[in-house]
Structure 1
Amino acid sequence: MMQTTNNFSSHVLEQSAVLRALEHSLAMIEFNVTGEVLWVNDIFAKAMGYSKEEMIGLKHRQFCPPHIIEHTSYHMFWKRLREGQVFQEKVQRITKNGSSLWLEATYSPVQDEEGTVVGVVKVATDITKREHTMKQVVEDLKEMSAKLMERAEVGIQHSQSVNASFDHIANETDQNMSLLKGLTEQVESISSIAATINSISSQTQLLALNAAIEAAHAGSYGNGFSVVAAEIRKLATNSKEAIVKVDQYVKAIHAEVEKVSSGTSRAKTTVFTNRDLVKQASEEFIVVGEAARGLDRQAQSLAAII
């Protein structure tokens, strides 16, 4: 009987092979504890605009913007590296030609067998293009929010002006309604007076008729009264005819006043409706303005993140 034995073996990658793979895919550089360049690969040197030979012996601070090396945090950064702390962050560096380079970098302290930090290895990825793209996005967002805010403010101002005009028209409409109401009352008063005069005219005609009858009974003695009675009756008839015409005119005026009053009332309703619509539009512009401010805040937050 044959017995089969399975041999399991684990394969561990050689450190030198791993380092070569990293060196060919990532930007790498080595510093001593004072920040002097000991070694750099082609990717890092090319990104910085140097040859590898040019970078050897240069100081780390030579690659940093002035505002970074002048800050106390820069000294604390190297102090912590010498204490063995790893640093990982997005950093800004200056290339040989003076342009900005953005790197996603990891600084790893290298220790000897006794645990003393003897150097620092930096592994980085060039994110300059991404950074510029993100900054452009932020600028576009800010510009968009500014334009949106400007248009919202103009819209609010226009809405307020239109609303003020509607208020003015509404006030004038109220005044016109009051005038029309007063005119209607005056027309009704004239109509009432005309009715009174018409009544007096009728009574005067009746009195003139009675006077004519009495004058006839008086015979020759009543001739003078007969003439007076005839003139009174004629005057009363003329007054009645005039009052009828006045009454017709008053009714016509009253009808026209009613039409004007009705039209003014409808206009007032339209004014108030439009004023409410403008008010709603103004409120919408305010909402747009708040959205623009929110967009600006988000753009600032994004800028702080990147």
Structure 2
Amino acid sequence: MAFYNRKKLELQEALAKLEAAKSRVQELESDFQAVEKAMAVLVMTQDGIIERANHRFLEMVGYQPEALIGQHHRVLCTSDYAKSEDYIRFWRELVTGNVKQGSFAFVHADGNEVLFEARYAPVKGEQGVATRVIALISES
């Protein structure tokens, strides 16, 4: 009977931890939704592949989601910048954990260059290495 009671207690503790984790995930999802309502958001892998672009960002740059999702961030840059050492350094610094902030030129879907204020923030995984990059963008 002692074994049964101990296993029952362990199961109850595990269920309580699971509920707490579930609650925390819901809280974080709500936080991110609030950020997405307030700002243009672009989520990329550490390699620069666009995973998510919220409605506000898509409106600012004139793209449909299917034109950006799965593409490299460089599709939003001028070709000269995308091929430059500065661009390589930009991504190298992001993946090593450095936040990049300032005015950035983006290429609108119509081909025109537009200037936005942006903050690129690396999201670090368990080993402290960037696993993705989130850009928060606003109009200049």
Length-normalised TM-score, structure 1: 0.36
Equivalent position to 2:84, from 64, 67, 71? 71
Task: Tell me, in whole angstroms, the C-alpha distance in 2 between the residues paired with 1:123 and 1:66.
Answer: 22
Please state if 1:20 is matched with 2:33. Answer: yes
User: Following TM superposition, by how much is the alpha carbon of 1:81 offset from its aligned partner in structure 2, in angstroms?
Assistant: 0.6
SS of 1:85's partner is: coil
Please state if 1:32 is matched with 2:45. Answer: yes
Structure in which a larger fraction of residues adopt helix: 1
What whole-Å deviation, never above 9, does each CA across 1:228-284 have from its counterpart, x for those lacking one? xxxxxxxxxxxxxxxxxxxxxxxxxxxxxxxxxxxxxxxxxxxxxxxxxxxxxxxxx
Whether the 8 Å CA contact 1:83–1:117 is kept in 2: the answer is yes
Task: Give the AA of the match of 1:73.
Answer: D
Residue in structure 2 matched with residue 48 of structure 1 by the alignment: 61
Please state if 1:103 is matched with 2:96. Answer: no
SS of 2:111's partner is: coil
Please state if 1:58 is matched with 2:71. Answer: yes
Task: Tell me, in whole angstroms, the C-alpha distance in 2 between the residues paired with 1:91 and 1:67.
Answer: 14
Task: Tell me, in whole angstroms, the C-alpha distance in 2 between the residues paired with 1:121 and 1:64.
Answer: 16
Residue in structure 1 matched with residue 104 of structure 2 by the alignment: 91
SS of 2:38's partner is: coil
Task: Give the AA of the match of 1:94.
Answer: V
Task: Give the AA of the match of 2:48.
Answer: G
Identity of aligned residues (%): 27
Task: Tell me, in whole angstroms, the C-alpha distance in 2 between the residues paired with 1:25 and 1:53.
Answer: 23
Task: Tell me, in whole angstroms, the C-alpha distance in 2 between the residues paired with 1:70 and 1:58.
Answer: 16
Task: Tell me, in whole angstroms, the C-alpha distance in 2 between the residues paired with 1:86 and 1:102.
Answer: 19
Residue in structure 2 matched with residue 130 of structure 1 by the alignment: none
Task: Tell me, in whole angstroms, the C-alpha distance in 1 between the residues paired with 2:65 and 2:107.
Answer: 16
Whether the 8 Å CA contact 1:37–1:59 is kept in 2: the answer is yes
Task: Tell me, in whole angstroms, the C-alpha distance in 1 between the residues paired with 2:85 and 2:133.
Answer: 20
What whole-Å deviation, never above 9, does each CA across 1:36-71 have from its counterpart, x for those lacking one? 101110011111111123210111111101232232
Task: Give the AA of the match of 1:60.
Answer: H
Task: Tell me, in whole angstroms, the C-alpha distance in 1 between the residues paired with 2:108 and 2:71.
Answer: 13
Task: Tell me, in whole angstroms, the C-alpha distance in 2 between the residues paired with 1:62 and 1:71.
Answer: 14
User: Following TM superposition, by how much is the alpha carbon of 1:125 offset from its aligned partner in structure 2, in angstroms?
Assistant: 0.1
Residue in structure 2 matched with residue 246 of structure 1 by the alignment: none
Structure in which a larger fraction of residues adopt strand: 2
Structure with greater contact order relative to length (CA < 8 Å, sep ≥ 6):
2
User: Following TM superposition, by how much is the alpha carbon of 1:118 offset from its aligned partner in structure 2, in angstroms?
Assistant: 0.8
Task: Tell me, in whole angstroms, the C-alpha distance in 2 between the residues paired with 1:50 and 1:73.
Answer: 25
Residue in structure 2 matched with residue 222 of structure 1 by the alignment: none
User: Following TM superposition, by how much is the alpha carbon of 1:111 offset from its aligned partner in structure 2, in angstroms?
Assistant: 1.1
Following superposition of structure 1 onto structure 2, how do residues 123-162 of structure 1 map, counting pairs within 5 Å? 123-127=136-140
Task: Give the AA of the match of 1:37.
Answer: I
* Larger radius of gyration between Structure 1 and Structure 2: 1
Could you list the structure 1 runs, at least 4 aligned residues long, displaced by more than 6 angstroms after superposition: none
Task: Give the AA of the match of 2:53.
Answer: V
What whole-Å deviation, never above 9, does each CA across 1:129-186 have from its counterpart, x for those lacking one? xxxxxxxxxxxxxxxxxxxxxxxxxxxxxxxxxxxxxxxxxxxxxxxxxxxxxxxxxx
Whether the 8 Å CA contact 1:101–1:126 is kept in 2: the answer is no
